[in-house]
Amino acid sequence: MRCLLALLMAFLLAGCGSASDTPPSAAPESGPEQTVSGQADRPVRYLRSLYYDPERVPGGIAAPARYAVEGELVGGLVPHHLLASDMIAGFFRMAGEQSSRFDRVLLLSPSHYPERCGSALMTSTAGWDTPYGRIEPDLEMAASLLGDPALGMLDDPDAVEYDHGAAGLVPFIRRYLPGARLTVCLLSNRLSQERLSAFWERVAALCEEGSVLLVVSADCSHYLTPKESAERDRETAHAIEHCEIGRVLGFTDSNVDSPQSLSTLLYLVQEQGLTLTRLGHSSSPEKLPHADANPIFEEGITTYFVYAALR
């Protein structure tokens, strides 16, 4: 995305702790291959939590946003910028407190580094090592996605491990949904409408199987002034709350960084007659002290929404 490297360097220089968007220069090696019980003893690789921030992640878990919903939670939208770790923790805490347990999580993220990906749709059959324990992969769900020729999806654990849009949320998933199996999908902004439509249908079918939580990882307005961001956020909220899929697909980083992922959630809302509830809205200046003097804002601010899709 535009000016991403400059933004990350500014974040590091600002002394704000570990950058949430950049893998550390030194990280532990991936876990050894093991087998998953009940999955035909298939060997599984475990990915590293490259973006785990030892200050922000525990901080969000210690003081999560307090979200509550009326109805059965089916999915939602959360940010992946770890400045909003309290919002991320609040959503997954709420999911973990639902009366019906989620056995499976389908996590959709923008593909931030398409140059590392061999397809506009990527997934992984790997599990994850996190500071809160291991997450097992949902091999059945991954096989369903990889086996659909209309999707042209590739299995690439390295690409999935490297992308902070998904990897940054993995510790929260393990902390609040410890028994759930996970499937991650990276969706490129270059994805054709034909393949995206096929993906919508496949996801809707998977979510009909029960005990599946669909999570869209997306940050909203990027690189704008607070005044400009407020106007864009009004547009984004209106499009989400009125399920305007066509309008969402026309958005750029000025509104949301993964129109493809967000449109998938909205398609599910339409197909299953769900309702959308806004749970939270914030911005990077609200999350950082002395925001006006912080060089990270020379490139503009980032904004965040949390929504819940309910049956």
| Interior angle at CA 132, CA 126 and CA 138, nearest 5 | 30
What's the CA gap between 198 and 2, in Å, rounded? 29
Cβ atoms of 90 and 306 closer than 8 Å: yes
Per the structure block, which two tokens stand in for 67? 């979200």
- What's the order of all strands across the beta sheet hosting 31-35? 31-35, 43-47, 127-130, 133-135
pLDDT of residue 292: 63
pLDDT of residue 170: 98
Q: Which residue, 206, 262, 211, is CA-closest to 98?
A: 211
Q: Which residue, 171, 102, 164, is CA-closest to 138?
A: 102
- DSSP per position, 120-140: SEEE---EEEETTEEE-B-HH
Q: Is 117 helix (H, G, I), strand (E, B) or coil?
A: coil
Secondary structure in 3-state letters for 19-32: CCCCCCCCCCCCEE
What's the CA gap between 265 and 48, in Å, rounded? 27
pLDDT of residue 290: 65
Per the structure block, which two tokens stand in for 206? 């998977």
Kindly list the structural domains of the chain, giving each domain's residue range(s) and its CATH number in brackets, ordered by start: 4-310 (3.40.830.10)
Per the structure block, which two tokens stand in for 66? 């307090």
pTM: 0.87
Cβ atoms of 153 and 76 closer than 8 Å: no
Specify the pairing of strand 222-224 against strand 133-135.
unpaired
pLDDT of residue 298: 72
Q: What are phi and psi of 238, to 5 degrees?
A: -65, -45
Q: What is the pLDDT along the chain (311 residues), one digit of tens a residue?
A: 434 333 433 333 333 333 344 444 333 444 444 443 344 456 899 999 999 999 999 999 999 999 999 999 999 999 999 999 999 999 999 999 998 899 999 999 999 998 889 999 999 999 999 999 999 999 999 999 999 999 999 999 999 999 999 999 999 999 999 999 999 999 999 999 999 999 999 999 999 977 999 999 999 999 898 899 999 999 999 999 999 999 999 999 999 999 999 999 999 999 999 999 999 999 998 998 766 666 667 778 999 999 999 99
What's the CA gap between 252 and 180, in Å, rounded? 32
